[in-house]
Amino acid sequence: MSSQEEYFLCWSAPPGRMDELWAEGWRHFGPIFFRYRRWLHGRRRLTITPLRMELARFQPARSQRRVLARNRDLRVEVGPTAPDAATFEMFEAHRRRFRTDVPDSLHDFISPHAPAEVPCRNETIRVYAGARLVAAHFLDIGGRATSSVYSMFDPSESRRSLGVYTILLAVELSRRLGCLYYYPGYASREPSPYDYKKNFAGLEEYDWRGRWLPR
């Protein structure tokens, strides 16, 4: 990271406070909140761009409608975050996809203690092919916004575009909850593995001066 990195520790924050933090470009993994403007990915230095979606302006693109159609055979469950053996097993397969910035543990992203509550309400969107878990998406619930913490999928199902699919499910859940905004996480101005986050309608980007600007 860079000299512009900021962080603090918080074990519990009410929904309205989470909304404020997300609107200021903060993210968190477990109780550790952070924000930073530069990221070293491999040997490349990237310029970080926090993103959020104005839910009222979102409509799926044609390619995203195809992703929804491709996954009509899957079953979706949503509930308080409580990782089980299948979740950890899928994480081990998912992490092997990476060549740089390989995560060590699922607990790098969600708290090992009360993950459904630390630092706020967190729900898991679980996707099944039959009885087999093929994707999991961890979503924070605030007062007027939601924010994705982490998403993973079974690499053997990569043809399904499950990263895009679970974002679409998160958007649908956020709308059902009556939220105004959904935060898909950080992306970068330069090309990166997270470019898929930038391909959704209704997005705004944070300019690090307190303003959210349409993309």
Mean pLDDT of the region 176-188: 97
Pick the range with the lowest mean pLDDT from 37-51, 116-130, 191-205: 37-51
**Does residue 1 fall inside a structural domain?**
no
* pLDDT recorded at residue 19: 98
- Report the C-alpha dihedral over residues 130, 132, 138, 142, rounded to 10 degrees: 30
Q: How many domains does the chain have?
A: 1
Q: What is the CATH number of the domain that holds 205?
A: 3.40.630.30
pLDDT beyond 90 at 73: yes
* pLDDT recorded at residue 50: 97
Confirm whether pTM is higher than 0.75.
yes
Length of the chain measured in residues = 215
**Does residue 104 fall inside a structural domain?**
yes
* pLDDT recorded at residue 2: 43
pLDDT beyond 70 at 209: yes
User: Can you list the pairs that 84-89 forms with residues at least 24 positions away whose Cβ atoms lie under 8 Å?
Assistant: 86/133, 87/124, 87/133, 87/136
* pLDDT recorded at residue 194: 84
The Cα–Cα gap between 160 and 23 comes to 32
Q: Which residues span the domain enclosing 205?
A: 6-214
**Does residue 89 fall inside a structural domain?**
yes
Which pLDDT tens digit goes with each residue over 112-139? 999 999 999 999 999 999 999 999 999 9
pLDDT band at 163 (very low <50, low <70, confident <90, very high): very high
Mean pLDDT of the region 31-45: 89
pLDDT beyond 90 at 1: no
pLDDT beyond 90 at 43: no
The Cα–Cα gap between 81 and 19 comes to 20
Mean pLDDT of the region 181-192: 94
Within 13 Å of residue 94, how many CA atoms lie on the same side as its CB? 22
In percent, the amount of the chain with pLDDT more than 70 equals: 98
The Cα–Cα gap between 161 and 63 comes to 10
**Does residue 117 fall inside a structural domain?**
yes
What 3-state class would DSSP assign to 139?
Answer: strand
The tokens for 52 are 């959020």
What are the Cα distances from residue 211, in Å, to 25, 52, 197, 205? 10, 12, 19, 8
pLDDT band at 101 (very low <50, low <70, confident <90, very high): confident
The type of residue at 70 is R
pLDDT beyond 90 at 107: yes
Quote the distance between the C-alpha of residue 8 and its chain's center.
20
Mean pLDDT score of the chain: 95
